Structure 1
Amino acid sequence: MDTPSSLPLSVVLIARNEARNLPTCLDAVAGWVREIVVVVNDCTDGTEEIARRYGARVIPHPWENFREQKNVALAQATQPWILALDADERITPALRGEIVAFLAGADADQSLAAESPRLVTFLGRAIRHGDWYPDRGLRLVRRGQARWTGAHDHCKLVAEGRGPIHRFRSDLDHASFPDLASLVRKTPFHADNFVRTCRERGRRWHLLQAVIRPPWRFFRGYVLKRGFLDGYPGLVVAVAVAYETFIRYARLYESELASSSASE
């Protein structure tokens, strides 16, 4: 993958059965980055073969959780800068141009990391308002100066050290929900991870939060963050966020009830 024009940049990601998403993700970085690292686990759909076709260094690693798996990928990078992606994310041509200009300019010498907004296209519409946008997060970091931290399922990349964070204007495409069914399917997974995180941190179920937070999330996303400007898909997003919040607290209540019954 090393070419005369490639940048001193490692692209790192984790993947399990991502044959549908991986070609689009890697097409967008192939040829202009010096290294691609893909940490895989339990793949049965040809994910590893696809990654190798793009010249990626494929590293099998037993599954721990999203946070630790992504930290394993970070640790495998060898280039001065790391571009951390998910398999369902794609670097747009506009964002690529900003990254190239950043690494070639003075900003790279002064900045600790760089972040970009993520854009989801859902039900045929780019969602540019509400709780899903701009969803800014670090994606470009110096090697050895960042780690994935936070909850197992909703971890975030955090720069370690002092220095300014550069902000890209162009969007990072995120194909997180190709259809409504995929959105619904992820609700139990997120609810279970929410319960696990609450138990680890000693957080308990409270009726007031369970009653207030779902409608608040709808109001915040649809009204305050102007989700209504995204038409009917924006309404679906706002309702889905509120519903997922409701299920999370219901699942926490169920978990505490089961624990109480088991201790009797």
Structure 2
Amino acid sequence: MVSLSVVIITFNEEANIGRCLVALGGVGDEVLVVDSFSTDRTVEICQQHGARVVQNAFAGYVEQKNFATAEAQFDHVLQLDADEVLTDALRAEINQVKASWQHAGYTMPRLTSYCGHWVRHGGWYPDRKLRLYDRRRGRWVGLLVHERYELDAGASAGALRADLLHYSYYSVEQHVNQLNKYTSLAVAELRLRGKTRVSWAQLVLKPLWKFSHGYFIRLGFLDGFAGLCIASLSAWSVFLRLAKLKTNSLPPAA
């Protein structure tokens, strides 16, 4: 059986981190929390649950997750976010993998709670994430947003069946605030990629397509109010990102 490090990055996660740590249920042979100098009780809660805490200034999600992976005691790593929780079934599957590790990494389906509703449509499920991996055979990649773990060329990935629970947004207000933050990061990333042109057709049609695709084609309407909020705010995020990019590209007023 391989030894496993559970790795979590945090910043002001006192509302979530305790639930995440309790649900580990001994699946990890080490629990490492890399904290970005939280100003709330995050570090205190982690220490109460027996986690090893290392503080490191946040330079980006990719950089922080690669730092945390490198700081782990063991080569086999389960990386979680503070707002994610292992189910009993997922813990059992991970323990089975530990007993007979066969792939470079393993994906798992993520089931998201939105304002208290578990979302199963609209493109939000199964939302597979590669979170269980051998750090010698991959790395975290990406620019400013949408970081992901990428395995080396030719490395195989297995697929777990049990859900990883994700407690995303507790209110619509929280969702809106996060969209403002992440669309600004997305614009910065687009500019780094050299993408600065936005047409009027894109401003109108892309948000409409985003809503229609999530709400109708991907059956978001089956999630009721949560599905409507997700489809509407997803469309809004597309518009906001394009509008910010276009505004940043306009010449200054005379």
Distance in structure 2 (CA, Å) of the matches to 1:50 and 1:170 = 27
Matched, 1:138 2:130: yes
Matched, 1:201 2:193: yes
Give the alignment's TM-score, normalised by structure 1. Answer: 0.91
- Cα contact 2:84–2:164 (8 A) shared by 1: yes
Give the AA of the match of 1:167. A
SS in structure 1 at match of 2:149: strand
Detail structure 1 runs of 4+ shifted over 3 Å in the superposition: none
Out of 153, 157, 171, the position equivalent to 2:149 is 157
Out of 96, 100, 110, the position equivalent to 2:95 is 100
Out of 119, 122, 125, the position equivalent to 1:127 is 119
C-alpha deviation, 1:123, in angstroms: 3.0
Out of 213, 233, 244, the position equivalent to 2:226 is 233
SS in structure 1 at match of 2:136: coil
C-alpha deviation, 1:60, in angstroms: 1.0
SS in structure 2 at match of 1:132: coil
Counterpart of 2:172 in structure 1 is 180
Counterpart of 1:89 in structure 2 is 84
C-alpha deviation, 1:31, in angstroms: 2.4
SS in structure 1 at match of 2:168: coil
Give the AA of the match of 1:96. R
Distance in structure 2 (CA, Å) of the matches to 1:69 and 1:193 = 16
Give the AA of the match of 2:11. R
Give the AA of the match of 1:237. I
Distance in structure 2 (CA, Å) of the matches to 1:30 and 1:18 = 20
Matched, 1:148 2:143: no
What do the CA deviations read for 1:51-92 (whole angstroms, capped 9, x no partner)? 112222211111201111111101111223100110111111
Matched, 1:214 2:213: no
Distance in structure 1 (CA, Å) of the matches to 2:192 and 2:80 = 27
- Cα contact 1:195–1:252 (8 A) shared by 2: yes
Counterpart of 1:3 in structure 2 is none
Distance in structure 1 (CA, Å) of the matches to 2:10 and 2:2 = 23
Paired-residue identity, %: 38
Q: RMSD of the alignment, in Å?
A: 1.7
When residues 62 and 123 of structure 1 are mapped into structure 2, their CA distance, relative to the original with a 3 A threshold, is: closer
Structure 1 residue ranges without an equivalent (≥5) = 1-5
